Amino acid sequence: MKYLLKPLSAALLAVALCGAATASDDHGGPVVAKPYKPGVAMTKAVQAGITPDSAIAILKAGNGRFVAGKPLARNVRQLVTQTALGQFPFASILGCIDSRAAPELVFDQSVGDVFAARVAGNTVNADILGSLEYASKVAGSRLIVVLGHTNCGAIKGACDGVKMGNLTTLLEKFSPAVAAVSTTGERNSKNHQFVDDVTEMNVQLVIKNIRENSPILKELEDSGKIRIVGALYDTASGKVSWH
């Protein structure tokens, strides 16, 4: 992952969001898309105006605010009320349970904006696949982001071959990523480059897993209705880099 996030200007974000997606209202008719405004409650009409590419632009802009320490001022209580009877998130983020990498914080999003599925090592299983299928096919999410992060304890544990209760089974899911990298030096968590390489490989393999094991999501991506992308959160800088 070589391309570090750069904050988007308001003008560039507006250009990125100019495309409109299709959706249906509660009566089966077309939804008239409304422009996206950062910090405003997501509705079906707002979601309809967001494309997969513009969803990425929104997240990039949000991470730029996070890194700059300038999150949007929101009336969260109002957002709770406005989204009480329905949700229309524009993106789904599969992330790690790590306390430093909460997607809503990293991307400066709030109530009703994104679906967040979290499990150690941002891996995937049938339950998470089903959740992502619901998010994309039923609820209209335009984007799936597999969000890895630096200094991941689960990845380090897999690199060290840790065995402990149910964690053993979980860490075995990262064995393909460990085996796939050819980093020089020690093949354990003491080798920081090895850990970083396994982390990035794991993101790539999870994306491959999603495409191979969910015909629904594969079809949505092939038809351009969604995108499935990888990203890496740097726990030291707060920046997100993208595939």
Q: What's residue 243's pLDDT?
A: 79
Residue 24: what pLDDT? 54
53 vs 32 pLDDT, higher one: 53
Question: Do residues 46 and 40 make contact, with C-beta atoms less than 8 angstroms apart?
Answer: yes
pLDDT for 32 equals 85
Q: How many CA atoms lie within 13 A of 123 on its CB side?
A: 19
- Give residue 24's domain range: 3-242
pLDDT tens for each residue of 130-144: 999 999 999 999 999
Tell me what pLDDT residue 30 has: 72
Q: What is the pLDDT of residues 18-32, one digit of tens each?
A: 443 345 555 456 778
pLDDT at 3 over 70: no
Token pair of 157, please? 């544990």
Alpha-carbon 8 to chain mean position: 18
Q: Provide the CATH number for the domain around residue 8.
A: 3.40.1050.10
- Cβ count within 10 A of residue 165: 7
- What is the structure's pLDDT at 26? 52
Number of domains present in the structure of the chain: 1
- State whether the Cα torsion 131-137-140-142 is positive or negative: positive
- Quote helix, strand, coil % in the chain, to nearest 5: 45, 15, 45
In tens, the pLDDT along 175-228 reads 999 999 999 999 999 999 999 999 999 999 999 999 999 999 999 999 999 999
> Cα(225)–Cα(51) distance, rounded to whole angstroms?
8
Name the pTM for this structure: 0.88
CB 101 within 8 A of CB 147: yes
Q: Which residues contact 112 (CB under 8 A, 6 or more apart)?
A: 41, 42, 79, 82, 83, 87, 88, 89
- Taking only the tens place, the pLDDT of each residue in 145-166 is 999 999 999 999 999 999 999 9
DSSP H helical ranges for the chain: 10-16, 44-48, 52-68, 76-82, 103-106, 126-133, 153-159, 167-172, 175-180, 192-213, 215-222
pLDDT attached to residue 23: 52
For residue 10, the model assigns a pLDDT of: 47
